[in-house]
C-alpha cells in the first residue's frame, strides 16, 4: 500500500491507497469526551502538529462487545470520521455521509460491514463514515446537558464535511446523508434541524425505526438507568459513572427502556413525520425503503425462529396493531401466529413508519423494498433487517455479510449489489436513482429482487391497516 497526504483545516493527514481507493481513517472532528465533556456539546476545536496518522480506525464509542480501539489510544477520543475517495485530486465528486445503525446503543464506523471501498468505487463518490455518542452518553435527557448529544456530534461531523471534503475530491454542495436503522433515525432527525439546512442536498433512509421519544419518556428512561447505577439523572452525577457501567445498565433495561432521539423542541424541534408533512425538506430528493421481512433477523437472534409462542404473537398484536388485532387476521387469513408476529412487529417498528415518510414528503421521493432472500438459516429469514448492508457496501465476508450471506454470495446477490450501488451513486450525483418517483396515486416502488421491477407498493394489506395511524414521539411506558 502506498501513502497519500492531504490538508484539512486542523492540519495534515496521512492516508493510504488500497484496492484503488484512498482511505483516511480515524480523523478527529471533536475533542476527547473526558469527564464532564461526556455530557457537553462536542468541542470541535481540534488540531495537531505535523502529520496525523489516518491509516487506522480510531477508538469506538463505549458499548457492549466492541473493543475500544488501537493499543495505547485514548478510549474517550472517539469522535472520529473516515473518508474513502476514488480520486483525492478530483473536484466535484458527490459525497455520501453514512450514519451506522445499532439501536442507538451499539455500532461503530470501524465495523468491517461498513468498509467503504465498494460503495465509493461503484458510486464514484466520496464516502464518509463517523462515530458518535451512543446510549446514555448520546441520548439521555438529563439536567445540566443538552438533549440529543449524538445528533450534535453528527451535526459537527457534517459541518466538518462541508469545510473539508473538497480536499478529498468531494463537492460540499453535493452531500447525501445516508442512514440505516438507527442511523436512518438519526438522519431523519438531522434533516429536520433548521441549522443544518444547506449542508446536504439529498437523503437516503433505510429501515427507519419508529423510536423517537417524548421528553416525558426520555426522562423516564434516564431516571430508570441512573437509578440502577446509584446515580441521579443529571449530567454531573452520570459523568462520574464509568462508561462501561452505564453501558451494562442500558443493556439490562433494553426491553423496557432504551435511549433514543428526543423530540425536545430545541435540538430536535419535532419528529420527522410532522416535519416532512409540514414540507420542512422542500424539494430535497429523498430515497427511502425497507426490507420485506424486517423483524425476522431479531427473531432468529433470539433463538425463536420457528418457535414463537402463540401467546407472544397475541401480545404483539394487542399492543402494536392499530385498532383491533383482528385487522391482521383478516388481512392475512393464511398467516400462522409466528407470521402474524413477524408482520405486526416489522410494520410497527420499521415498515409502516418508513412508508409513511414517503407519503408525506412533498419533494421527489423514491421508494424501494428489498425482497431478495438471504441464504442464512436455510432461507428462513427471507429478506431481513440489514440484508441491504452487504449488498450496498459489497462486503460479504465480514459482519452482516457473513451472518446473512454466509460469506459466499451468489452471482445474483453480487449482481443485485452492483445495481444497488449504481442506483445509490446516481441518486447522490443527480437526485435520481433510475426509477420513477413515488406518488400518492400509483405508489410506485422499486423492488430489489432477483429481477428488478417497479410495482405498486407491495405491502398493501399492511398499508391499509396503518392508513389512519399518526406516527410521532413515543409516550411514557
What is the DSSP track for 272-311? HHHHHHTTTTTT--EEEEEETBTTHHHHHHTT-TT---HH
Residue ranges matching CATH 3.40.50.1820 in the chain: 1-284
Cβ contact 225:249 at 8 Å? yes
CA distances for 84 relative to 11, 233, 323, angstroms: 18, 40, 47
Contact 364, 283 (CB under 8 A): yes
In the structure grid, which three cell numbers stand for residue 363, read together? 419533494
Strands 11-18, 21-28: pairing kind: antiparallel
pLDDT at 68: 67
Round to whole Å and give the CA distance between 301 and 296: 9
Asked if 22 contacts 85 with a C-beta cutoff of 8 angstroms, the reply is yes
| Spatial separation of the C-alpha atoms in residues 298 and 347, rounded to whole Å | 14
CATH number of 1-284: 3.40.50.1820
CB 290 within 8 A of CB 448: no
**pLDDT (tens place) for every residue of the chain, 477 residues total:** 799 999 999 999 999 999 999 999 999 999 999 999 999 999 999 999 999 999 999 999 999 876 667 877 899 999 999 999 999 999 999 999 999 999 999 999 999 999 999 999 999 999 999 999 999 999 999 999 999 999 999 999 999 999 999 999 999 999 999 999 999 999 999 999 999 999 999 999 999 999 999 999 999 999 999 999 999 999 999 999 999 999 999 988 776 678 899 999 999 999 999 999 999 999 999 999 999 999 999 999 999 999 999 999 999 999 999 989 999 999 999 999 999 999 999 999 999 999 999 999 999 999 999 999 999 999 999 999 999 999 999 999 999 999 999 988 999 999 999 999 999 999 999 999 999 999 999 999 999 998 888 999 999 999 999 999 999 999 887
**Helix, strand or coil, per DSSP, at residue 125:** coil
pTM of the model: 0.97
Q: Report how far residue 392's alpha carbon sits from residue 387's, in angstroms, rounded to the nearest whole number.
A: 9
**269: its cell numbers:** 424541534
Residue 290 in contact with residue 388, Cβ under 8 Å?
no
Any idea what DSSP says for residue 380? T
Which residue numbers are catalytic? 181, 294, 385
Q: Using CB atoms within 10 A of its CB, is residue 323 exposed (0-12), middle (13-18) or buried (19+)?
A: exposed
Amino acid at each position: 500500500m502506498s501513502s497519500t497526504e492531504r490538508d484539512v483545516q486542523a492540519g495534515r493527514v496521512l492516508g493510504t491507497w488500497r484496492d484503488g481507493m484512498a482511505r483516511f481513517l480515524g480523523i478527529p472532528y471533536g475533542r476527547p469526551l473526558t469527564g464532564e465533556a461526556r455530557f457537553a456539546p462536542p468541542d470541535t476545536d481540534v488540531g495537531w502538529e505535523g502529520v496525523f496518522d489516518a491509516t487506522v480506525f480510531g477508538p469506538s464509542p463505549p458499548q457492549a462487545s466492541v473493543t475500544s480501539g488501537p493499543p495505547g489510544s485514548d478510549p474517550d477520543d472517539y469522535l472520529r470520521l473516515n473518508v474513502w475517495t476514488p480520486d483525492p485530486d478530483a473536484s466535484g465528486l458527490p459525497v455520501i455521509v453514512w450514519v451506522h445503525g445499532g439501536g442507538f446503543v451499539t455500532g461503530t464506523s470501524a465495523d468491517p460491514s461498513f468498509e467503504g471501498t465498494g460503495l465509493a468505487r461503484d458510486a464514484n463518490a466520496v464516502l464518509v463514515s463517523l462515530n458518535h455518542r451512543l446510549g446514555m452518553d448520546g441520548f439521555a435527557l438529563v439536567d445540566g446537558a443538552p438533549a440529543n448529544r449524538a445528533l450534535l456530534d453528527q451535526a459537527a461531523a457534517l459541518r466538518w464535511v462541508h469545510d473539508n471534503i473538497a480536499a478529498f475530491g468531494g463537492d460540499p454542495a453535493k452531500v447525501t446523508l445516508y442512514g440505516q436503522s438507527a442511523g436512518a433515525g438519526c438522519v431523519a432527525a438531522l434533516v429536520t434541524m433548521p441549522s443544518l439546512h444547506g449542508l446536504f442536498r439529498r437523503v437516503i433512509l433505510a429501515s427507519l425505526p419508529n423510536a423517537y421519544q417524548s421528553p416525558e419518556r426520555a426522562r423516564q428512561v434516564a431516571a430508570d438507568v441512573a437509578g440502577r447505577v446509584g446515580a441521579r439523572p443529571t449530567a454531573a452525577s452520570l459523568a462520574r459513572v464509568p462508561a462501561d457501567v452505564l453501558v451494562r445498565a442500558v443493556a439490562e433495561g433494553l426491553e423496557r427502556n432504551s435511549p433514543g432521539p428526543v423530540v425536545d423542541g430545541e435540538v430536535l424541534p419535532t419528529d420527522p413525520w410532522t416535519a416532512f408533512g409540514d414540507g420542512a425538506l422542500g424539494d430535497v430528493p429523498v430515497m427511502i425503503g425497507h426490507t420485506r421481512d424486517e423483524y425476522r433477523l431479531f427473531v432468529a437472534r433470539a433463538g425463536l425462529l420457528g418457535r414463537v409462542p402463540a401467546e407472544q404473537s397475541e401480545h404483539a398484536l394487542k399492543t402494536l396493531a392499530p385498532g383491533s388485532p383482528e385487522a391482521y387476521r383478516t388481512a392475512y387469513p393464511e398467516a400462522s401466529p409466528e407470521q402474524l408476529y413477524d408482520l405486526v412487529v416489522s410494520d410497527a417498528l420499521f415498515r409502516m413508519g418508513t412508508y409513511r415518510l414517503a407519503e408525506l414528503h412533498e419533494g421527489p421521493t423514491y421508494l424501494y423494498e428489498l425482497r431478495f432472500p438471504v441464504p442464512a438459516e436455510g432461507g428462513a429469514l427471507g429478506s431481513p433487517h440489514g440484508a441491504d448492508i452487504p449488498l450496498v457496501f459489497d462486503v460479504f465476508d465480514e459482519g452482516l455479510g457473513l451472518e446473512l450471506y454466509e460469506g459466499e454470495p451468489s452471482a445474483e446477490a453480487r449482481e443485485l449489489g452492483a445495481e444497488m450501488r449504481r442506483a445509490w451513486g446516481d441518486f447522490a450525483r443527480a437526485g435520481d436513482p433510475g426509477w420513477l418517483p413515488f406518488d400518492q396515486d400509483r405508489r410506485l416502488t422499486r423492488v430489489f429482487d432477483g429481477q428488478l421491477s417497479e410495482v405498486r407498493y407491495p405491502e398493501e394489506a399492511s398499508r391499509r391497516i396503518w392508513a389512519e395511524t399518526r406516527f410521532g414521539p413515543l409516550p411514557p411506558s
